Amino acid sequence: MATNTIRKITMAVLAPAMALGATVGLASAPASAAVWNSCDRWGSANLDGYKLYNNVWGSGAGSQCVWANSGTGWGVWADHPNTGGIKSYPNSTKTINKTIDSLGWLTSNYNVSVPSSGAYNTAYDIWDTDHQYEIMLWVNYNGVVGPIGGYEGNVTLGGHNWNVYKGTNGSNQVFSFLRTSDSNSGTVDAKPILQWIAYTKGWMPGSETIGDVQFGYEITSSSGGLNFNTDNLTISGG
């Protein structure tokens, strides 16, 4: 994710930038006028303590535009071909900068509207500050998509039941938690998930500093143009 998406960039050859008319982004925005929109592949903005990022990073990507009414209410229109490989991860990022040991809490509320077609996942992407570890929490997914690594079992943590996968992309360790049933809204408590990784499994040290907590959509295909709406998102840690 640039610095925001190190794992993704190392896995793909970047596609040429797409020339998009401004009307595409405006047409895909909600009826109320968005305070910010961009069809630039690396378009970004800081709103209300969150960084919004269009983040079209994958090979063979199509067109994509992001809009935002606030840091917690935003969406994406994407038209990516029905080919393999992740094309983008549009997201909203909150910076935490706390060690796992010192975290008093790390919680998030989400409410999304996602399409019934296409191939994608709706996921949190949690990074340590030196990008050695990546923790992904998939709250819903559709189409032919899958996590990195091998299956490690099932666990109930942070208010959800997950299937857990562990692997590496060659640059960092990746721990993926896939919710066993799709959810479009809810609350995630990430602190017990991080403690389970560090202390129950020993996969990363408790002294590791959690840097960015991202929430967005890893889109593999969305042919014809699909909308992904973040109706509400809050991330809080301290």
Distance CA(66)–CA(170), nearest Å, equals 30
CATH fold group of domain 6-237 = Jelly Rolls (2.60.120)
Q: Where are the alpha helices (DSSP H) in the chain?
A: 6-10, 22-28, 191-195
Residue 57: its H or E element: none
pTM (predicted TM-score)? 0.88
pLDDT for 146: 96
What's at 227, amino acid-wise? Answer: N
> Within 10 Å of residue 89's Cβ, how many Cβ atoms?
25
Residue from 82, 84, 119, 81 nearest 12 by CA: 84
Dist CA 110 CA 127 (whole Å): 19
Task: Give me the half-sphere count of Cα atoms (radius 13 Å) on the Cβ side of residue 233.
Answer: 31
Are 207 and 99 in contact, with CB atoms under 8 Å apart?
yes
Q: How far is CA 228 from CA 138, 156, 177, 220, in A?
A: 15, 27, 21, 13
* Closest listed residue to residue 65, CA positions, set 56, 31, 2, 47: 56
Q: Which stretches in the chain have pLDDT values below 70?
A: 1-33
Cβ atoms of residues 165 and 155 within 8 Å: no
Question: Quick one: pLDDT at residue 18?
Answer: 36
Amino acid at 103: L
CA 155 to CA 169: how far, in whole Å? 23
What does the pLDDT read at residue 32? 53
Where helices occur in 92-236 by DSSP H, the ranges are: 191-195
Interior CA angle at 211 toward 209 and 217, to 5°? 135
pLDDT for residue 33 = 66
**Nearest residue to 119 (alpha-carbon basis) of 161, 58, 29:** 58
